[in-house]
């Protein structure tokens, strides 16, 4: 038997309970103004997420997804202000801030991360469709023949993988007994790869194209490994501070509207169609890794079949992504 890759609950099912809970106690009383009238005079809702800088291309999809979820709910909930927070570089610090709900009140993360374990309301919609758990190795060009021989988890255990300190998927590699080298952060790992202290820097299918385009001119011997795919179930959800339940309700409602209208699908493909095409995900050898964040019995028991990541015809591209496709070798 073969099993299809789980990419999250349908949006309507995932948020129905959240909306039902949030709407308790919000029934209108005769003679009182309706919700739209009240929201027209209410202060704009502030939305604060982490954004390292204005050129953070890796997360542009998440930025626009949150903005659109707020915009499509403007008639019911009123105005809003986007107020990105540029500090707190570590996930642990971000978790503290989102728990406090002042400098940050919403962020995307995966289950098991410090943010997911903070005082938050999860919106269990897999917004990246599992792409973060589809890992492709950045390697040195000279190692292409070596990686072509990797056929199994046991083979994978013969290489050393680079990870940032406190990255949540570090526990996934440790559970699968894969040698690791941990560094302070992602930017430090590129020169470490170039100097052969690690063999593979695995990045998600949603991020590897952007990072490769940024770093390859600085490290000309770095290539994307063309045949191997590391898979683990690693969904990406939005988490809202428990101090902002109305924001959680609004974002959930916005995602539902976007899913129903087709806007969510259009936005997803606008950002990822060009990035995914050169990766040829459906043609790669898949090595499944077990995750400590999921029940043992549900993992790596059958052949993994990826979703169809073929975009609709004539999908427009996000302007900032209309660069030349990154080469694999």
Q: What is the pLDDT of residues 107-140, one digit of tens each?
A: 999 988 899 999 999 999 999 999 999 999 999 9
φ, ψ of residue 96 to 5 degrees: the values are -65, -45
Query: Looking at the domain 131-233+278-321, which fold is it?
Result: D-Maltodextrin-Binding Protein; domain 2 (3.40.190)
Q: What is the pLDDT of residues 157-190, one digit of tens each?
A: 999 999 998 788 999 999 999 999 999 889 999 9
Domain ranges of the chain: 6-129+236-275, 131-233+278-321
d(CA 163, CA 188): 10
Q: What is the pLDDT of residues 61-93, one digit of tens each?
A: 999 999 999 999 999 999 999 999 998 678 889
Contacts of 308 (CB under 8 A, 6+ apart): none
State the residue for tokens 């902002």: 244
- Compute the radius of gyration of the chain from its Cα atoms: 21
Q: Which CATH class is domain 6-129+236-275?
A: alpha beta
Residue 77: closest CA among 259, 261, 254? 254
Residue 262 in tokens:
């087709």
Contacts of 65 (CB under 8 A, 6+ apart): 127, 255, 258, 264, 267
d(CA 131, CA 207): 9
d(CA 136, CA 228): 7
Q: How many CA atoms lie within 13 A of 102 on its CB side?
A: 3
Residue 229: closest CA among 278, 281, 274? 281
């Amino acid at each position: 038997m073969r099993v299809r890759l789980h990419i999250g609950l349908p949006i309507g099912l995932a948020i129905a309970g959240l909306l039902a809970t949030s709407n308790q106690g919000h029934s209108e009383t005769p003679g009182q103004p309706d919700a739209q009238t009240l929201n027209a005079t209410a202060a704009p809702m502030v939305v604060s997420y982490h954004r390292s800088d204005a050129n953070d291309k890796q997360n542009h999809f998440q930025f626009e997804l949150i903005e659109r979820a707020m915009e499509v709910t403007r008639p019911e909930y009123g105005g809003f202000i986007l107020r990105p927070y540029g500090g707190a570089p570590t996930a642990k610090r971000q978790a503290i801030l989102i728990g406090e709900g002042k400098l940050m009140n919403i962020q995307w993360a995966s289950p098991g991360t410090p943010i997911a374990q903070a005082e938050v309301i999860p919106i269990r919609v897999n917004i990246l469709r599992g792409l973060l758990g589809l890992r492709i190795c950045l390697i040195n060009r000279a190692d292409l023949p070596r990686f072509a021989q990797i056929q199994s988890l046991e083979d994978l255990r013969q290489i050393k993988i680079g990870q940032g300190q406190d990255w949540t998927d570090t526990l996934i590699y440790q559970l699968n007994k894969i040698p690791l080298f941990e560094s302070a952060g992602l930017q430090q790992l590129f020169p470490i790869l170039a100097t052969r202290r690690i063999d593979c820097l695995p990045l998600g299918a949603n991020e590897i194209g952007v990072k490769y385009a940024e770093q390859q001119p600085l490290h000309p011997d770095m290539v994307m490994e063309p045949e191997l795919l590391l898979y683990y179930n690693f969904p990406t959800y939005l988490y809202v501070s428990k101090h902002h339940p109305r924001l959680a309700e609004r974002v959930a409602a916005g995602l539902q509207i976007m899913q129903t209208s087709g806007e969510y699908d259009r936005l997803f493909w606008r950002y990822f169609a060009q990035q995914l095409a050169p990766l040829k995900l459906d043609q790669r050898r898949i090595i499944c890794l077990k995750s400590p964040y999921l029940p043992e019995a549900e993992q790596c028991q059958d052949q993994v079949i990826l979703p169809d990541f073929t975009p609709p015809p004539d999908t427009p591209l996000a302007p900032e992504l209309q660069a030349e496709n990154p080469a694999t070798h």
